[in-house]
């Protein structure tokens, strides 16, 4: 497994992105320390052990019709349409299908076991550029359109959407003591699963989406649903060309 390379310079720039960034000196010191030794590495290692029980990298490559050499670049293009599954799917859904093909009970989408397993698999693409192709076929085109709709549609009593906190005119504003990020420049699709300091746990991008929805008092979209996978497609495409670095580290 390639080791995740997180730039200290880039991380420092993130911390200094706003003079209003309300992070204590103790938290800053902890953040710097975790950049050197991300606590989530142990979960990624556990995920590697789980994949080994399924046949390892070679078995995953074979299941996807790839070689071990081409597997990292292929992983860097997820979510994508898989003909044998008949849908645009996330890595978690591929891994569920792989487990079922071996006669095993698949991990639940949002389980800790699946988070660890999917984190390891995505880490195989570390240092690869996100190469999702939202024009590859009619299926991914439809998923991208749906994801854009989910991202931009205002919902709930507050009339909020993902775009409400991540449009160009509000990026950098402070919410809950931290600046609102540009999801494309932050390469959100390539830095989750990530270790969240405030939660002391490894978290997937879709689970993070749900956290945002909860905070905004919106009806929470289920993980693994067509709408949630589509949202992952849309957000991942925002950071296309950015490098994958798993596990990420988030406040």
For 155-187, the pLDDT digits (tens) are 999 999 999 999 988 887 777 667 898 999 999
Mean pLDDT, range 24-34, rounded to an integer: 56
Preceding peptide of 150 cis, ω within 30°: no
Preceding peptide of 198 cis, ω within 30°: no
Residue listed under structure tokens 């994958």: 244
Delimit the domains of the chain by residue range: 1-251
What is the CATH code of the structural domain delimited by 1-251?
Answer: 1.10.760.10
Predicted pLDDT of residue 26: 54
Q: Phi and psi at residue 108, in whole multiples of 5°?
A: -65, 145
Q: How many CB atoms lie within 10 A of CB 179?
A: 19
pLDDT in tens, 97-148: 999 999 999 999 999 999 999 999 999 999 999 999 999 999 999 999 999 9
Is the pLDDT at 22 greater than 70? The verdict is no
Predicted pLDDT of residue 29: 57
pLDDT in tens, 60-81: 999 999 999 999 999 999 999 9
């Amino acid at each position: 497994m390639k080791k995740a390379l997180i730039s200290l310079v880039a991380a420092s720039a993130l911390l200094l992105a706003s003079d209003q960034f309300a992070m204590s000196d103790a938290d800053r010191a902890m953040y710097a320390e975790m950049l050197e030794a991300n606590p989530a590495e142990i979960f990624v290692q556990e995920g590697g052990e789980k994949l080994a029980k399924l046949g390892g990298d070679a078995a995953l490559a074979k299941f996807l019709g790839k070689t071990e050499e081409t597997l990292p670049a292929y992983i860097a293009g997820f979510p994508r349409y898989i003909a044998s599954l008949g849908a645009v799917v996330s890595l978690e859904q591929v891994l569920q299908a792989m487990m079922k093909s071996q006669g095993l009970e698949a991990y639940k989408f949002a389980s800790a076991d699946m988070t660890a397993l999917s984190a390891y698999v995505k880490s195989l693409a570390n240092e690869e550029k996100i190469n999702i192709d939202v024009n590859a076929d009619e299926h991914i085109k439809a998923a991208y359109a749906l994801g854009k709709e989910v991202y931009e549609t205002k919902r709930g009593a507050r009339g909020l959407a993902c775009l409400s906190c991540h449009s160009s005119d509000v990026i950098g504003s402070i919410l809950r003591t931290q600046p609102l990020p540009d999801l494309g420049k932050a390469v959100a699709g390539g830095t989750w699963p990530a270790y969240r300091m405030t939660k002391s746990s490894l978290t997937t991008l879709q689970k993070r989406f749900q956290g945002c929805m909860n905070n905004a008092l919106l009806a929470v979209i289920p993980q693994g649903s067509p709408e949630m996978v589509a949202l992952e497609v849309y957000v991942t495409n925002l950071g296309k060309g950015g490098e994958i670095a798993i596990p990420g580290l988030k406040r």
